[in-house]
Structure 1
Amino acid sequence: MSFQGETRRIVVAPVGEMVAAFCLALVRGASNGVKIAGTMARRFENRRVLGELAGLDDRMLRDIGLTRADLRDASAAPFVGDPTRVLVLRATERRAAARLLARAPREN
């Protein structure tokens, strides 16, 4: 190979690496944008479901282990937060407490 060919390759290689790095960064940014959009869509859906739960009567809420206070607490979470975490935590706590109460020896 000639000296001129080697010189051209050395000069062009860093530009190609920069273009490749830019393309990879662009793809990563787009991927992160899609993840954020999916997360926000899920949170909006969970807020909608919270509204549907608020439409249920107290007996139906009790059947799934929730109370009106749980719904109020979940709706008080920041808008970008996930309200279903509060609901799942409260229902799980109630089920665990009921199991412990059932296992406890009864005193007369």
Structure 2
Amino acid sequence: MSVYGETRTTSTAPVGTALAHFLLQAAGLAVKAARAIERRRALNQLGQMEDHMLRDIGLTRSDVRDAASEPLWRDATQVLVTRSVERRVAARLRARPGRMG
């Protein structure tokens, strides 16, 4: 035995769907804003460190300044990661014995 039901949609269903979409977008933006604020705080703390402390983690004062000059919607800490990795790789290449070939 099969039972076929009737599906009814209300006239407010599209409004509810649009509202849910809007709220999800707003929540996503709020999360992104909170992450940006957190990263800027970390950047501010790095800016307050002394030069020798920055050197210990592979950064310079100009790296911190360059990262701080990034627009707010970009992840400024990515600049710091890139610079630190570049310096580490360059130091390893300088430390390698000369290759023959």
Q: TM-score range by the shorter chain?
A: 0.7 to 0.9
Q: Any idea what the Cα deviations from partners look like across 1:51-94, whole Å, max 9, x if unmatched?
A: 11111111110111100010110111113322111111111111
Determine which of 83, 90, 95 is the counterpart of 1:90.
83
State the number of aligned residues.
94
Percent pairwise identity: 45
Between Structure 1 and Structure 2, whose CA radius of gyration is higher? Answer: 1
- SS state at 2:31 partner: helix
Which residue of the partner structure matches residue 37 of structure 1? 30
Counterpart-to-counterpart distance in 1, 2:51 and 2:79: 18
Determine which of 38, 59, 63 is the counterpart of 2:56.
63
- SS state at 2:58 partner: coil
Pairwise CA distance, 1:26: 1.1
- SS state at 1:77 partner: coil
- SS state at 2:12 partner: helix
Counterpart-to-counterpart distance in 2, 1:36 and 1:67: 32
Which residue of the partner structure matches residue 3 of structure 2? none
Give the number of the structure whose residues are more often helix, by fraction.
Answer: 1
Which residue of the partner structure matches residue 28 of structure 1? 21
CA-atom RMSD in angstroms: 2.2
- With structure 2 as the length reference, what TM-score do the two structures score? 0.79
Which residue of the partner structure matches residue 3 of structure 1? none
Task: Give 2:98's aligned amino acid.
Answer: P
Determine which of 65, 76, 80 is the counterpart of 2:69.
76
